[in-house]
Chains A and B, each alone.
Chain A
Amino acid sequence: MTAVIASDGGDQAAGPLVELNINAEERVFLYRLLAGIFRREQSKERLEELRSSQYREALEEAGVDLGDHFFLTPIEELAEELAVEFARLFLLSPDGRIAPYESVQLPDGSGQLRGPESQAVLDYFKATGFAYQDEMNDMPDHVAVELEYMAHLVLLESCSWVNGKYDEALNAIRYQNDFFQKHLFNWVFCFLNRVNAKAECAFYSVFAELAQEFLEDELTELPEKEKQAEQLLERN
């Protein structure tokens, strides 16, 4: 996709445009990756992929160290261990689980599972043209669903850049910014801190840290991207 943009070399906006688009492409997959980590227990197949040499290298480059235990433990055993940890963290725990929902985690929020915040998130999805259907019958304000939603919006942005529809790209960025500010930002850092503090397996604390770093970056970058995209649109 990048090549399509890069070929548009005569355009004075090409520099920032390429930058914005590459950035969008990367972000889609980071959101998806993080959504996948927090959604449910990791299957053996997923763990195998994460342990592949290509992935190991990529994780290392991103500063993520899952430790030898992750790479050396037999896969069955690892899957079991992580499933137990997942349940202890997010599903049921004698010392209280960290329910991964906005309605529960939002500071000064309702604190209720399926609280008004869940409905507000669902309304947001609907108002922006998304249908929500979950085979697990989980809540729409689950951290993984909110991350997945961001991935969708970033994908729309990326496709719009590729198709030269700068106004649509800007529109998608505005929604990212808006949803981030209205929902994710208000609770996700608090949630991730709790995961980090409670996790006994490096796997969850490391991905919580990665998410924290990436989303903090989003917090500062999104308004900046919006401005850049506005300027780009004005110039064109």
Chain B
Amino acid sequence: MLNRRKFIKLSAATAAASVAMNGTLSQARELPVFGGKDFSPTTGKERKAVPSACLNCVTRCPNIVYVEDGRIVKIEGQPKSIRSEGKMCAKGQGGVNQSNDPDRILYPMKRVGKRGEGKWKRVSWDDALDEVAGRLKTLRDAGTPEKFMFHYGRMKSSTSKLVKTNFLGAYGTKTIGNHTSICEGGKWTAQELTWGKHYDTWDFDNTRYVLNFGANPLEAGTNHIPTSHRLIRALTTREVKMVTIDVRLSNTAAKSQEWLPVRPGGDLAVALAMCNVVMSEDLHKGRGEEFLKFCKVTDTAEDTLENKVKALKDNFAQYTPEWATQHSDVSASAIRRIAREFATTYPACLISYRGAVAHYNGNDTERAIQTLAAITGNIDNPGGRCLAVGPKWKYPKAKGMPKGRKLKIVDGPKGAAAIPSHHMSHNVLKMIKDGSAGRPDIYMSYMYTAVYANGDVQENIDVLKDESLIPFSVNINPFYDESAALADLILPEPPYTERWDWDDMVSPVQIPEYYIRQPAIPPMGETRDFGTVACQLAERIGIELPFKTKEEFVRMSCAKTPAVKAVGGFEYMKKHGVYHDPKAKPKYHSYRKELKAKDYEKATVILDEATGTYWDWKKAKHKSAEAAQKKGYTHSKGAYKAYVGQRIGDKVYKGFKPDKLNKSGYFEIYSGLMKEKGYNPLPTWYSIPEHEKMSDNDMILTTFKVATQIHSRSQNCKYLTELYHDNPAWINPVDAQRRGIMEGDEIKVKSEVGEITIKARVTPAVIPGVIAISHHCGHWQYGRYASGNKAPMAHDDDPDLKRMWWKGNHGAHPNWIIPNAPDPINGQLRFMDTVVQVIKI
């Protein structure tokens, strides 16, 4: 601004003279409020702007939905959001098609032919609810509520609290399956084992270096837009260096300064070798060394720095860069160079995702990555890998919840995974088929197309079709997808643009943001928000919930949540959509907070000497302090919920509070829980057994996502599917030539569970030995835009149906050939390491 001083006189002289331009513009009306306004390009009429939130992917960005003549016509980013800063991805904008999809289901439908045959009749809501409630009541009255299985996918925030905590809690079933193990559950478990919480955020705004193991934040991810636009800003305006380690030249790899192609599963070798470089070259000294005070590195609760450093040096000594090259194909010199750069550029942000984690050895890959960040001091610091910060909503709860009962079918077969803290949803249908742990009488699925999204599609179809295995199947869905097609009853829900929610996704600026989703238009047809349907079922069964609709639940939550209530509660949120405390400071280094004596010197709080953890024995449901001491913190069921703090030296810190596992408040590089399960407590190399046995002709299948589609719930969006509807398999020219495959040829890809036919894309953007197939495509239901197949009761009022030039060209689905095999530690579906054979047709 000071530079302007020299213009002052010139400006004043101009003010006094007439040298300025004669006007061509005149102000006809007031300047509208920036952002949040839109106008019809044909009539010029202002459109109704509804502040709401996207739910096309899990990121759940605040948005503004524009309505013209009662129709949703456009969706934009919410400029007031500190998370998205008004940005929005193609998927979010394509959400406009969800509401206007001509294949939407608008009425409850009941199967009339054989299951899966496609014959339906319309039923009234009263009949549908009576039938479901009647069956649920019978099970409950018989004392077997666990025979009601609820299997959900993208159910978050208020919907989860209403349906899962309240409705299912009050009903009494704990046979609840989620979908996290087909997503990134393995990463979450590994993070729970190290720093307690499942989620991490990446502080790109403040970082000076980004090292990326298998994440693709510019195209997808659980906090996609809030992080991707910040990453682009860091790369372009601050010239931050990014290095990506990936089997494939993703768009994130392409925007990195360096792409290090890696063999599937080799990420672990690279991460271990980088730890080796840091420790052997003493690059941990300084910030890494300081952070070790908060780390558990040996089996001793409080060890000396010297011993910790020695343990790390000893553990990583075997993993030299030269050794890693043999397992990863990344050169030793590159591993050394990048490890040194990363360790000596502070702050540096270490990021990772499914590309690194969805393998047989994914658990220790993530633990090694966490360790690398820890020994360089890049944990929960500005510019580093941080503990997630999100809003804390309060919500109404039903009284007198029964003790729930459950069928042991959500964690996979006994022993299949040692610590499946996010369950094993991809094995649920297999468990139902097996039957040894019991079978549900009612299977209800919500926002989860298990049949399409899990591996081994044929097995999923066989189980879901079989009435002897699943006697009654209910699907809640706005669309006729593959799961709906195999249901007995479909309860139609409006898409997210017509629903209520409060939402709570984490914030990349470490300041919580409160936001809501509200219907931009009333639900179309007879569709009903499932939150409200759950209330109506509860009423019929005789369960008392303190609210009658989802809207009421959201309204009550706004009144109960102090931060939101203080600014005007529900009405404020309806008007503005988002709220954050403008005075809030970003939250870093929260583990360093010292507890006051009164916090841990309570009568019910004791010290667990083995771990140095203070915990509340009463909260852990022990009868006395003595009983608790005897059992110990680590072995008391659910003791993590009773965690108070961590003793380190003569102080007690907030530490790294556990989320799901009974770990201490240390950052556990050394995991006692892993040791108890028979694994090495420190990050260790595991090779992938199937890869050891590969023949010369075998290849490895890896999967990926693109920027314009969500995993499995967006192919009905015509704008997105016009952009991406076909997914040729990427194959390196070396592999293609060996098999006589040319660009565009039809090829067969075969695994132990099936085979698919797909087109080939011959490209050096994938490493030799690997074939890469994206998700999203190959639907056989989900309406005409996705699969060419019309849904029952669909309508033909969309003129674009005639312009659908990609009809008959819907790509192939890789899950037919991916077995439902888990990571043996955390249960994550191994999407990235299936052995396949590839032949030209």
Q: Which residues of A contact B (CB under 8 A)?
A: 19, 23, 25-30, 32-33, 35-37, 39, 45-46, 49-50, 52, 54-55, 57-59, 61-64, 123, 125-134, 138, 140, 144-145, 147-149, 151-153, 156, 168, 171-172, 174-175, 178, 214, 217, 221, 224, 234
16 additional A-B residue pairs with CB within 8 Å, beyond A123-B39, A127-B32: A30-B10, A30-B11, A32-B14, A36-B19, A59-B10, A61-B8, A62-B7, A63-B6, A123-B41, A129-B27, A130-B28, A132-B24, A132-B25, A145-B24, A148-B23, A234-B582
Q: Could you tell me the distance in whole angstroms from the C-beta of A213 to the nearest C-beta in chain B?
A: 8
Residue in chain B with minimal CB distance to A224: B1
B18 contacts chain A at the CB level, 8 A cutoff: yes
A62 touches B6 (CB 8 A): yes
How far does the alpha carbon of A27 sit from the alpha carbon of B84 in the complex, in Å? 31
B13 contacts chain A at the CB level, 8 A cutoff: yes
B142 contacts chain A at the CB level, 8 A cutoff: no
A55 touches B13 (CB 8 A): yes
Residues of chain A within 8 A (CB-CB) of B9 are: 57-58, 61-62
Residues of chain B within 8 A (CB-CB) of A25 are: 11
B21 touches A32 (CB 8 A): yes
- Contact check: which of A33, A153, A217 meets B10 at CB < 8 Å? A33
A217 touches B20 (CB 8 A): no
How far does the alpha carbon of A19 sit from the alpha carbon of B14 in the complex, in Å? 20
Known interface pairs A26-B4, A26-B7, A55-B13. Does A156 touch B25 (Cβ–Cβ under 8 Å)? no
Residue in chain B with minimal CB distance to A147: B21
Q: Could you tell me the distance in whole angstroms from the C-beta of A214 to the nearest C-beta in chain B?
A: 7
Residues of chain B within 8 A (CB-CB) of A131 are: 25-28
A-B residue pairs, 5 tightest by C-beta: A32-B20, A58-B9, A35-B21, A174-B34, A129-B29
A133 touches B6 (CB 8 A): no
B15 contacts chain A at the CB level, 8 A cutoff: yes
Q: Could you tell me the distance in whole angstroms from the C-beta of A71 to the nearest C-beta in chain B?
A: 15
B17 touches A49 (CB 8 A): yes
- Contact check: which of A23, A147, A148, A174 meets B35 at CB < 8 Å? A174
Known interface pairs A178-B34, A217-B4. Does A149 touch B25 (Cβ–Cβ under 8 Å)? yes
Residue in chain A with minimal CB distance to B9: A58
Known interface pairs A171-B34, A175-B31. Does A54 touch B13 (Cβ–Cβ under 8 Å)? yes
Residue in chain B with minimal CB distance to A57: B9
Residues of chain B within 8 A (CB-CB) of A37 are: 19
Residue in chain A with minimal CB distance to B44: A126
Residue in chain A with minimal CB distance to B46: A127
* Highest count of chain A CB atoms <10 Å: which of B7, B18, B27: B7
- Give B279-297 as 1s and 0s: 1 = Cβ < 8 Å from A's Cβ atoms: 0000000000000000000
Q: Could you tell me the distance in whole angstroms from the C-beta of B733 to the nearest C-beta in chain A?
A: 31
B33 contacts chain A at the CB level, 8 A cutoff: yes
B20 touches A36 (CB 8 A): yes
How far does the alpha carbon of A189 sit from the alpha carbon of B13 in the complex, in Å? 25
Count, A-B residue pairs, CB within 8 A: 134
How far does the alpha carbon of A140 sit from the alpha carbon of B10 in the complex, in Å? 27
B30 contacts chain A at the CB level, 8 A cutoff: yes
CB contacts under 8 Å to A, within B655-706, are none
Q: Could you tell me the distance in whole angstroms from the C-beta of B176 to the nearest C-beta in chain A?
A: 43
Residues of chain A within 8 A (CB-CB) of B7 are: 26, 30, 62, 214
- Contact check: which of A58, A149, A214 meets B12 at CB < 8 Å? A58
For this complex, 13 residue pairs linking A to B, each with C-beta atoms less than 8 Å apart, are: A29-B11, A29-B12, A32-B20, A33-B11, A35-B21, A52-B13, A62-B7, A126-B44, A127-B32, A127-B37, A130-B27, A131-B26, A138-B24
B436 contacts chain A at the CB level, 8 A cutoff: no
B566 contacts chain A at the CB level, 8 A cutoff: no
How far does the alpha carbon of A85 sit from the alpha carbon of B26 in the complex, in Å? 30
B597 contacts chain A at the CB level, 8 A cutoff: no
B16 contacts chain A at the CB level, 8 A cutoff: yes
* Highest count of chain B CB atoms <10 Å: which of A36, A37, A133, A144: A36
How far does the alpha carbon of A58 sit from the alpha carbon of B12 in the complex, in Å? 8
B14 touches A130 (CB 8 A): no
How far does the alpha carbon of A32 sit from the alpha carbon of B37 in the complex, in Å? 28
A133 touches B21 (CB 8 A): no
How far does the alpha carbon of A175 sit from the alpha carbon of B79 in the complex, in Å? 12
Known interface pairs A127-B32, A171-B34. Does A152 touch B13 (Cβ–Cβ under 8 Å)? no
Residues of chain A within 8 A (CB-CB) of B11 are: 25-30, 33
Residues of chain A within 8 A (CB-CB) of B24 are: 132-134, 138, 140, 145, 148
How far does the alpha carbon of A160 sit from the alpha carbon of B610 in the complex, in Å? 65
Residue in chain B with minimal CB distance to A175: B34
Residue in chain B with minimal CB distance to A55: B13
Residues of chain B within 8 A (CB-CB) of A28 are: 11
B21 touches A39 (CB 8 A): yes
Residue in chain A with minimal CB distance to B28: A131
- Give B726-766 as 1s and 0s: 1 = Cβ < 8 Å from A's Cβ atoms: 00000000000000000000000000000000000000000
Q: Could you tell me the distance in whole angstroms from the C-beta of A182 to the nearest C-beta in chain B?
A: 12
Residues of chain A within 8 A (CB-CB) of B31 are: 128-129, 153, 156, 168, 171-172, 175
How far does the alpha carbon of A131 sit from the alpha carbon of B44 in the complex, in Å? 13
Residues of chain A within 8 A (CB-CB) of B16 are: 54
How far does the alpha carbon of A148 sit from the alpha carbon of B24 in the complex, in Å? 8
Residues of chain A within 8 A (CB-CB) of B34 are: 171, 174-175, 178
B19 touches A46 (CB 8 A): yes
Residue in chain B with minimal CB distance to A160: B31
Q: Could you tell me the distance in whole angstroms from the C-beta of A216 to the nearest C-beta in chain B?
A: 9
Residues of chain A within 8 A (CB-CB) of B44 are: 126
B14 touches A29 (CB 8 A): yes
Residues of chain A within 8 A (CB-CB) of B21 are: 32, 35-36, 39, 144, 147-148
How far does the alpha carbon of A130 sit from the alpha carbon of B34 in the complex, in Å? 14
How far does the alpha carbon of A36 sit from the alpha carbon of B24 in the complex, in Å? 11
A23 touches B4 (CB 8 A): yes
Residues of chain A within 8 A (CB-CB) of B17 are: 49-50, 52, 55
A133 touches B26 (CB 8 A): yes
Q: Could you tell me the distance in whole angstroms from the C-beta of B451 to the nearest C-beta in chain A?
A: 44
Residue in chain B with minimal CB distance to A61: B9
How far does the alpha carbon of A61 sit from the alpha carbon of B4 in the complex, in Å? 11
How far does the alpha carbon of A58 sit from the alpha carbon of B583 in the complex, in Å? 43
Residues of chain B within 8 A (CB-CB) of A151 are: 20
Known interface pairs A58-B10, A131-B26. Does A217 touch B32 (Cβ–Cβ under 8 Å)? no
Residue in chain A with minimal CB distance to B26: A131
Residues of chain B within 8 A (CB-CB) of A59 are: 10, 13
* Highest count of chain B CB atoms <10 Å: which of A25, A127, A156, A214: A127
Residue in chain A with minimal CB distance to B33: A171
How far does the alpha carbon of A46 sit from the alpha carbon of B18 in the complex, in Å? 7
- Contact check: which of B20, B22, B582 meets A29 at CB < 8 Å? B20
Residue in chain A with minimal CB distance to B15: A29
